[in-house]
Structure 1
Amino acid sequence: MAPTANRHRCNVGKPQLVVIAGPTASGKTALGVELAGRCNAEIVSADSRQVYRYLDIGTAKPTSHERRAVRHHLLDVVEPEAGFDVARFRRLAQAAIDDMRRRGKRVVVVGGTGLYIRALTRGLCAGPPADAALRARLRQQEAEVGGDFLHRRLQQLDPPAAARLHPHDTLRLVRALEVVLLSGTPLSQWQARHGFREQPFDTLMIGLKPDRARLYERIGQRCREMVQGGLVEELRGLWQRGYSPDLPVLQTIGYAQMRRVLENRSGLEEALTDMAQHTRRLAKRQMTWFRAEPEMCWFEPGQVNRIWTMVARFFQI
């Protein structure tokens, strides 16, 4: 049974927000649009890939219909070659929330990037400042050695951090390596010391927990729908715009597999199988992350009315 909203009211008087989290393909976007439409809210996207312009199909951005129905923030924020990190997300999300509150809008945060959600709701573990030269060296080493070089190195230096990151998540792998190489202390230890005890908001955490077999079926279906919807053409279009195939964001799930198709290194069915497999692994890591959130209220994706009852009580509608 899902817990009641009363357990979340220790921060009464602070700005309120509802978070809808869960693994990829669990129905977060549709639920967020439904709930936001019912409670005069706007949505803050907490997705580390949807911030990039032109990456629409491969990142499963909300449809044009969903975006017309409810205003979304933090979509299409930066160009594909630009860097984007959790600190910038937090700044932009806070600015969007401040603007929404001034206009009398409620706030719903929707996404599967657990680090972004944690930073927004419980504070940010800063670590040492960025070092552009070190980052460049790490990326150069990855390009020269190939494979999962960065991930393998992080497994040696910070196994807990490596366990949470996809081998192709170059941005976060570089940051985790940067932290341990500059400070001598693994990122996982920085995070443990921080404790994430800040509470800037009165937050209701809603987690979607689909049946595993159904989720995996949905992942396979979504991957095929992405290809049928033009994922290969989207990637080709990015290349034609002048974006390098080696950009970190284009090494992520979906784009990496379709690159092999375009370069005649893989057949489409083989690429689809690999894409679905990597997406299932991502979903597993996301669930591991969100299960560690003590305030998460878990629901099956179809329990919209039960979720709405909790949200309405939380917002006192």
Structure 2
Amino acid sequence: MNERVVVVVVVGPTAAGKTRLACDLAERLGAEIVSADSQQCYRGLDAATAKPTLEERARAPHHLLDVAEPDEQLDAAAFVKLADAAIADIGKRGKRVIVAGGTGLWIRALLRGLLAAPGRSEEFRAELRRVQETIGLAGLHERLGHIDPQAAQAIRPTDRVRIERALEVHALTGRRLSELQQTHGFAEERYAPLFLHVAPPREILWDRIGKRTREMFQSGDLERETRRLLARIAEVPAAARVLKIIGYGEMASALRGTCSTQQAEERVAARTRRYAKRQGTWFRRDAGPPLAWPIDLPGLCDRASRWYEGRPG
């Protein structure tokens, strides 16, 4: 091992059991957990984001949960800055570090560095939204296809955030996002990671997603959080951006009467399954094949201990 800080990185699709495994490992290895989740960072959004419970947080210290308000924009660059600080603090106190989460882009940025790209331009974004009102998101994606075909092919036509970013980078730099990505290569080695890719068999994962969805609707937690969120949006319209998080937009539609609660629940389960598929594809590429199922916790503890001690294997 070189001087890079050694970290264990627990990744996988939603409902795979990342939080449980991270807590189990942290308890046994004297580690603290740095969350790498682009949804769990927001205060007041607990039910639909499967944020670690108070009981789970009591098992091991967690970092980067509840660090932003719903109307605040927390991107990969901001996450890396916060995560670097948290990891440094944990190390100073002689503790080990576990990074756990399902936001692949954030984890990649933390471990391999960020592109040398400009920051957000609110002026450009506002202009882009005005254009979108005329030609729609599909029109923006088509425009990206003319400017940067490689980026357009890699970005789903419904992924507004990434479409806007690719167009923004080109507008501000005159260079294609795909070109910058190829130049960067994501080859920087900022930490020394041991990936633990958690992914249950498909039938088990689908069952967990269904159960989690039913519980968030039946408990009333999702409805209560969505009502509070809608009240905040009335005062701070920028908070509406988090309605894209799976669960809140669907419940908002049910509360507004544009669909039934049952329809909202079915849509949440379906969207979550699609999201889990995309996460699985990402992590198989970035983190390698999933761990054998069921999880061998003693074996993983031994493997992680040796990694922390500089004895890979």
TM > 0.5 between the two? yes
Please identify, of 170-179 and 250-259, the stretch whose mean Cα deviation from structure 2 is larger: 170-179
Whether contact under 8 Å (1:50, 1:61) holds in the other structure is: yes
Distance 1:219 1:163 in 2: 29
The SS at the match of 2:46 is coil
Q: Per-residue deviation at 1:168? A: 6.3
Assess, with a 3 A threshold, how the Cα gap between structure 1 residues 73 and 218 changes in structure 2: closer, same or farther. same
1:176 to 153, 156, 166: 166
CA apart distance, 1:202: 1.6
User: 2:299 corresponds to which residue?
Assistant: 306
**In the alignment, which of 281, 297, 310 is matched to residue 274 of structure 2?**
281
2:243 to 250, 270, 278: 250
Q: Which runs of 5+ in 2 are unaligned?
A: none
Give the structure 1 partner of residue 86 of structure 2: 96
1:221 is matched with which residue: 207, 211, 214? 211
Residue type at the aligned position of 1:248: R
Q: What SS is found at the alignment partner of 2:290? A: strand
Question: So what's the TM-score if we normalise by structure 2?
Answer: 0.88
Summarize deviations over 1:146-167 as a string: whole Å, max 9, x none: 6766566556655665566676
Please give the TM-score of this superposition, normalised by the length of structure 1: 0.87
Aligned partners of 1:164, 1:112: CA distance in 2, in Å? 19
How many percent of aligned residue pairs carry the same amino acid? 45
Which stretch of the first structure deviates more once superposed, 133-142 or 91-100? Answer: 133-142
Structure 1, unaligned runs of 5 or more: 1-10
Q: Number of residues paired by the alignment?
A: 306
| Offset, 1:307 | 2.1
Measured after TM superposition, the shift of residue 110 of structure 1 is 0.3
1:243 CA displacement:
4.5
Match of 1:264 in 2: 257
Equivalent residue, structure 2, for 1:7: none
Aligned to 1:55, the other structure's residue is in SS state coil
C-alpha contact (below 8 Å) 1:135/1:178 kept by paired residues: yes
- Which residue does the alignment assign to 2:7? 17
Give 1:182 shift. 3.0
Check the 8 A contact 1:205/1:297 in 2, yes or no.
no
From 55, 63, 70, the counterpart of 1:73: 63
SS in 2 for 1:83: coil
Note if 1:206 corresponds to 2:196: yes
Q: Which residue number in structure 1 is paired with residue 230 of structure 2?
A: 239
Match status 1:56 vs 2:46: yes
Contact in 1 for aligned 2:201/2:293 (Cα 8 Å): no
Distance 1:314 1:236, change over 3 A: same
